[in-house]
Amino acid sequence: MSEPEITPAIIEKHGITQEEYGLIQSILGRDPNYTELGIFSVMWSEHCSYKNSKRELRKFPTEGPTVLVRAGEENAGVIDIGDGWGIAFKMESHNHPSAVEPFQGAATGVGGIIRDIFTMGARPVFSLNSLRFGPITEDPSKNGNAPRAAIKNNRRLFAGVVSGIAHYGNCIGIPTIGGEVYFDECYEGNPLVNVFNLGILRHEQIARGAARGIGNPVFYVGAETGRDGLAGAAFASRELTEESKLDRPAVQVGDPFKEKLLLEACLELLATDAVAGIQDMGAAGLTCSTCETASRGGTGVEIDLAKVPKRETGMTPYEIMLSESQERMLIIVKKGHEQTVCDIFEKWDLPYAEVGVVKDDGMMRVLDHGKVVAEIPARRLADEAPLYSREAVPKPTPPELNLAELPVVDCRAALLTLLAHPSIASKNWVYRQYDHMVRAGTMVLPGSDAAVFVVREAGKILAATSDCNALYCALDPRQGARIAIAEAARNLACAGATPLAVTDNLNFGNPHKPENFWQLRECVEGLAEGCRAFGVPVTGGNVSLYNESPAGAIDPTPTVGMVGLIEEERHVTTSHFKGAGDAIILAGIPGDELGGSHFLKIIHGRKTGPVPRMDFAREIALHDAVRALIKSRFVKSAHDCSEGGLAVAIAESCIGGKDCIGAEVALGGAGLRLDQALFNETQSRIVLSVSGTNAAAVLLLLEMRGIPARRIGTVGGEHLKITAAGETLTWPVADLHDAWYHAIARALA
């Protein structure tokens, strides 16, 4: 079959500009053929090269005394957790595929991030996810308009994505133990599916993705190559349109059972002395794995496509090189150890083939039955894509909140409405579909401030969370990103953990639009500032741009995944109240900042600033103080105050446990409106419960550390009673729980 003629239209269809095409001609010293054009198109896509974001990412702190593998060096970063043990973790997106085919898009996103972790030599032990969709319920601020067709589609996407995540994680036997789910109009038609995985390994088990050793054989292992996922990296690097449904072939099809076999086979092989390098065939498939391993090794790689296992006949070199079929790896084997590979992969009943060899010429050379079909300098292809600094123009500052113009609402009803909103409501409909108990390491069930997992072989207790308030980032990108870091660290502190490191998933619109690129730049600056303040390095992550539908760009969503360490099992702390008579203490100030709040968005339909202020020194002092109290065994529960303000945080503490329990609380708020006192989202606040006999000691210890704090109430009874701004409101705890716990199931019924 002859290849298509390369025309300006073909070049444009591949996402290559005329300037970039000229650079390709310069690199090759000739015109590329069709296969080579496809190879450049995927490797120079934003998804693979980060050509619009790499210069911004260099602002992140990536070094530190615990960093064993830095961000960008390999498939995932590795952090030392002591006693010769390390953790590899990373977050990536599968947004566009999930918009087109939610089940497979989400499922293969999980499979891909798991491969990134065991490629490092680590055994994956748990997953998280961060999901965002358009509304699945009517907007209460719009007088109950009838659901639109978009709401029905959002429900379909939401249910499909959750089902895909559950299917892959449950089948492969890796628990999904936490995460977050938000719903907003900006994600209609362009959901965000960000997935996280963490693995454990000994320092000496760290594997590298480099083609080293001239003459070493190159092995293809895992599933056969097909036409699914064809040019998926390029697909993920353009906006979604009404025609995107035609891109279903760009969505991969996953097989978690085969991935389980691949995982065990690769870890068994890595325990031998047979492997010189290993690389996941992720985005861009065979293309990325060959050129990236050659570039890292300073060598060349030659492969023959005739030897590649295939499940479809008649595949062209273009299709084989650009296929993103799942569950595949490229392994550089030490010469003389070929039989070891064969024995292990035959044992696990997996396809394998020796497809090439490491060369000394720095070229990625692709043969088809011995005939050269592509020949490109590996480093130029993998690491020297053109980099851009796009024009950045600030978005107009949205009008600020004028409290005098804000209608007074029934705050008793407002709390029930907030608790029932899918962004705040219990996510039990989601996590009940996940097997979060497999491997028997989950110490804190989903629903608390942070996930907690014990790695028994290492004797370590890890806490992890994913966080981002995109509403803040839409109003003030830098401040919103600063708060994302602070809230992630606050969630870990509430669990009793000290932060170790961060991974991120930067979700933005088309970078060619100056306002979108400004949002990206501001968010990166905010994240970098927060990481430096908390002393946590960035281990790697993902950039997902072009998140736009015909309705417009998503709100900037720089999702943060943060991992921490808990020293002793007795320090593990959860968010719900434990017993009648316990004292409720607010560590932090009552606050008054209603701008950017979920109350304004959900009750009044307003995305209005200014967003709450963030003082890192005050935030860090609060975390240190709460961890000290937890280590002293004073704290029974600790809950971050975030979306919905103090009223929501206190209600969640009443209804978040196995057994609901009431409370009587006095918030003060003299001089404030009732809604302002109840629902403001001022930062650096944690709701604690302690035994009544320890309340005075806790308050004294907080005072000694300079943390403003006071006792605001007592746990007990069957009602939540809150006095604030001179008014008293009462709710049966059963009503609060019913509104909060069943909201998502009712929306999907």
- Active-site residue, 94 included: yes
Q: pLDDT digits over 138-159, tens only?
A: 876 665 454 688 999 999 999 9
What proportion of the chain, given as a percentage, has pLDDT over 70?
A: 96
The number of angstroms, rounded, from the C-alpha of 23 to the middle of its chain's C-alpha atoms is 34
CATH class of 573-749: alpha beta
Cis peptide bond upstream of 175, omega within 30: no
Which sequence spans correspond to the domains of the chain? 573-749
Given a cut of 50, whether residue 349 has pLDDT beyond it is yes
Nearest partner of 47 among 234, 227, 254, judged by Cα: 234
Which runs of E-coded beta strand occur in 598-745? 635-640, 663-668, 686-690, 709-715, 719-724, 727-732
Two structure tokens written together for 117: 């972790």
What H or E segment, with its residue span, contains residue 463?
Answer: strand 460-467
What H or E segment, with its residue span, contains residue 279?
Answer: strand 275-280
Q: Could you give the CA distance from residue 745 to residue 748 in angstroms, rounded to a whole number? A: 5
Amino acid at 677: A
Which among 94, 96, 598, 604 is annotated as catalytic? 94
Nearest partner of 131 among 550, 433, 512, judged by Cα: 433
Q: What is the CA radius of gyration of the chain?
A: 26
Amino acid at 149: A
Given a cut of 80, whether residue 25 has pLDDT beyond it is yes
Q: Comparing 299 with 283, which gets the higher pLDDT?
A: 299
Nearest partner of 411 among 610, 584, 648, 606, judged by Cα: 648
The C-alpha angle 557, 110, 95, rounded to 5 degrees, equals 35
Q: Could you give the CA distance from residue 562 to residue 489 in angstroms, rounded to a whole number? A: 7
Q: Which residues of 169-183 are buried (b: 16+ CB within 10 A; e: fewer)?
A: bbbbebbbbbbbbbb
Which band of pLDDT confidence, cut at 50, 70 and 90, is reported for residue 704? Answer: very high
How confident is the model at residue 669, as a pLDDT?
85
CB atoms within 10 A of CB 85: 18
Place of tokens 């899918």: 422
How confident is the model at residue 4, as a pLDDT?
87
Amino acid at 617: A
Pair 219, 269: CB distance under 8 Å: no
The C-alpha angle 675, 676, 677, rounded to 5 degrees, equals 90
Cα–Cα distance list, 409 to 149, 195, 673 (Å) = 29, 38, 11
Q: Comparing 46 with 237, which gets the higher pLDDT?
A: 46
Q: Could you give the CA distance from residue 267 to residue 276 in angstroms, rounded to a whole number? A: 14
Q: What are residue 377's DSSP bridge partners?
A: 363
Given a cut of 80, whether residue 249 has pLDDT beyond it is no
Q: pLDDT digits over 182-203, tens only?
A: 999 999 989 999 999 999 999 9
Which among 47, 436, 604, 623 is annotated as catalytic? 47
Q: pLDDT digits over 359-390, tens only?
A: 999 999 999 999 999 999 999 999 999 999 99
Two structure tokens written together for 748: 């999907």
What single DSSP character describes residue 672? S
Coil, strand, or helix at residue 108? helix
- Active-site residue, 47 included: yes
Q: What are residue 730's DSSP bridge partners?
A: 721
Given a cut of 70, whether residue 254 has pLDDT beyond it is yes
Q: Could you give the CA distance from residue 17 to residue 2 in angstroms, rounded to a whole number? A: 24
Which band of pLDDT confidence, cut at 50, 70 and 90, is reported for residue 433? Answer: very high
Pair 565, 497: CB distance under 8 Å: yes
Given a cut of 90, whether residue 440 has pLDDT beyond it is no
